[in-house]
Amino acid sequence: MKRINILLLMLTLLFTLAACNTNEEKATPNENEVKQETTENEKEEAADSITVEHVLGTATFEEAPKKVVVLEWVYAENLLALGVQPVGVADIEGYKAWVKVDAELSADVVDVGTRQEPNLEAIAQLQPDLIIAPKFRHEAIKAELEGIAPTLFFEPYPTDESISQYDEMVSTFQSIAKALDKEAEAENLLNGLNKKYEEAKASIEKASLSTNEFVLTQAYSSQQTPVLRVFTPNAMASVIFEKIGLKNAYVPENFEVYGFSQLNVEALPALEAANFFYVVQDNDNIFENQLKDNAVWKNLDFVKSNRMYPLGGDAWLFGGPLSAETVVDRVLAVVEQK
C-alpha cells in the first residue's frame, strides 16, 4: 500500500509539473509573434513620422516641428505663408526693409545674427526643433547647425540649367510645408497664386502694350559707374513675368546661376524694343543721375517712347509665393497707370 501511495503521489507531481509547463508555454509569446508585433509597431511609427529630403540629405521628424529658426528671408516668408511664426530669423531688420508681404513677423521673434554669419549661440538658446538654411551660405557649418537641431538645406540658385529659380522656390516651399505638416495649406496657396497669374495675364492683355517683351533690371552705381543687373530667363522674377503673359527679351550667351547678367548701358540698344521694368533706389537713381545726359541712354527706344516701368526701390525679386504676389501687383500697377 505504501508503494502504491508513493507511486500515486509521484504521478500527481508529474501531472502538476506538466500542466505548469504547458501554462508557461501558453503564457510565453512565440518568437515570431514578438518580431511581427515589433515590425508592425515600427511601421506604425514610420507612418506617423515625417521624412523630408533636402539638398544635403534627409531629415526625419517624429512630429511636426513647432520651434523653427530660419537663416534666409525667403524661408521666414514661407513659414508665414503657412501660418507659422518662426522663433528666430537672421537679420530681421533687413527682412522688414525688403520683404513686402501682408503676413508680419511677430514682435517676439528673435534675431539670430546676419544671413552670412548667424549667431550659433543665439540659435542654440532658442532650442529649436528645426533649422532651415541655404546651402550656398551655410554648408560649411552643417555639423554645427545639426548639432543644435535637425537642419534642412536648400539651394535657391540651382546649378542645373533645367531647373529655374521659380521651380526651386515652389519645391522648397512644398518641402517646408511637408516638414510642418502643412501640405494642404501650401497647395491652397499655390493654387491661389496660379489663379492670380491668370487674372493678371488677362489684365495685361487688356492694357494693350505695344509689345509683350520685357527687360527687367536692378540698377545701381558702383564707384560712380552705372551697373545694371539684367534678369535672365531662369530668374524667379523673370518666370513670374512670363506667367502673366510677358516675354523676356534678354537671353544671355552663358547660363547665369544667380539669374542675372551685369551689363553696362552700351549693351542696351539690343534690347531697346522691349518694355523696361526696373528697380532703383531713390538715393542712387542712375537713370536720373549718371545716365541722364548719356547719348546711348537718351536714344534708346524704350526711353524715347516712355516704356519705362519703375517697380519701386524696395521691390524684392528673390522671395517666395507671397513675394511673387507682390511682384504681380506692382507690375499691374505700373502697367495700368500708363
Find out whether 320 and 292 touch, Cβ atoms under 8 Å.
no
Model pLDDT, residue 223? 85
Strand order in the sheet with 110-111: 110-111, 88-89, 68-70, 130-134, 151-154
CATH (one of 3.40.718.10, 3.30.2020.30, 3.30.565.10, 3.40.50.1980) for 199-337: 3.40.50.1980
Model pLDDT, residue 37? 55
Confidence of residue 27 (pLDDT cuts 50, 70, 90): very low
Angle, in degrees to the nearest 10, between helices 321-337 and 73-81:
90
* pLDDT for 47 beyond 90: no
Mean pLDDT of the residues in the chain: 89
pLDDT tens digits along 286-336: 999 999 999 999 999 999 999 999 999 999 999 999 999 999 999 999 999
Same CATH fold assignment for domains 49-181 and 199-337: yes
pLDDT tens digits along 165-193: 999 999 999 999 999 999 999 999 999 99
Residue at 82: amino acid letter: L
- The span from the CA of 246 to the CA of 300, in Å, is 20
- The span from the CA of 300 to the CA of 95, in Å, is 35
Which among 163, 185, 165, 166 has a CA at the least distance from the CA of 176? 185
- The span from the CA of 223 to the CA of 293, in Å, is 18
Confidence of residue 338 (pLDDT cuts 50, 70, 90): confident
| CATH H-level, domain 49-181: superfamily | Nitrogenase molybdenum iron protein domain (3.40.50.1980)
User: What share of the chain in percent tops pLDDT 70?
Assistant: 86
Model pLDDT, residue 129? 96
- The span from the CA of 162 to the CA of 177, in Å, is 24
Give whole-number Cα distances, 34 to 46, 151, 167, in Å: 18, 35, 47
**Three-state SS at 218:** strand
Find out whether 226 and 206 touch, Cβ atoms under 8 Å.
no
Residue spans of the domains in the chain: they are 49-181, 199-337
